[in-house]
Amino acid sequence: MKARIYWSKYLFDKGITKNIMYSGSSVYTPYYEAEVMSLFAQAIGIPKENIFTEKKAEHSTENIYYGYQKACSLGFQRVALASDPFQTKLLRRFTKKKVSKDVGLIPIVYDTLRSMEPFMIDPKIEYQQAHNPDFVSIEDRESFWQRLRGTRGLNLDENAYQ
């Protein structure tokens, strides 16, 4: 998660992106992943007005699917997935087939992150702000097979942000 946030900061600082969408529900812990990432990003200098969150996604496929839907509903003209190389490769086909052929893919360049390491901090954040009071672990809500369907992008709500 830290690498993804610092990669988004790098892309923002270089002017490659104007806005950032963090995506993730409270899946295995009672904290919305998107909100925790947003708080961390703000603490390292990304302006709050350039950060957006999507809190419905419980799987990587849903992160790009719902993130894209929300970005479009907000009027964003261009959208890219910025993540680690493994996840980017894993989601490439799904993204082009189920989301949009126009979504760019920007995998993390680890050499770039390593050059930033002396400046990478673990800021104190008010993580309680990201707490989901209605949290129930996905492991208690869904069977292994239901979770596998979600991982494969087979549980999508096509009207989530329309």
Q: Is residue 74 part of a domain?
A: yes
Please compute the mean of the pLDDT values over residues 14-36 and round it to a whole number: 97
Q: How many domains does the chain have?
A: 1
Q: Is residue 162 part of a domain?
A: no
Q: Is residue 35 part of a domain?
A: yes
Q: How confident is the model at residue 159 (pLDDT cuts 50, 70, 90)?
A: confident
Q: Is residue 160 part of a domain?
A: no
What SS3 state is found at 132? coil
Q: Is residue 117 part of a domain?
A: yes
Q: Is residue 158 part of a domain?
A: no
What confidence score (pLDDT) does residue 55 get?
97
Indicate the average pLDDT of the chain: 96
Q: What is the CATH number of the domain that holds 134?
A: 3.40.50
> What residues make up the domain containing 133?
2-151
Q: Is residue 122 part of a domain?
A: yes
How many DSSP H helices and E strands does the chain contain? 7, 4
What confidence score (pLDDT) does residue 158 get?
87
Q: How confident is the model at residue 161 (pLDDT cuts 50, 70, 90)?
A: confident
CA 102 to CA 22: how far, in whole Å?
A: 19
**What is the total residue count of the chain?**
162
Q: Is residue 47 part of a domain?
A: yes
- 130 phi and psi, to 5 degrees? -95, 10
| pLDDT tens track for 26-43 | 999 999 999 999 999 999
User: pLDDT over 90 for what percent of the chain?
Assistant: 94
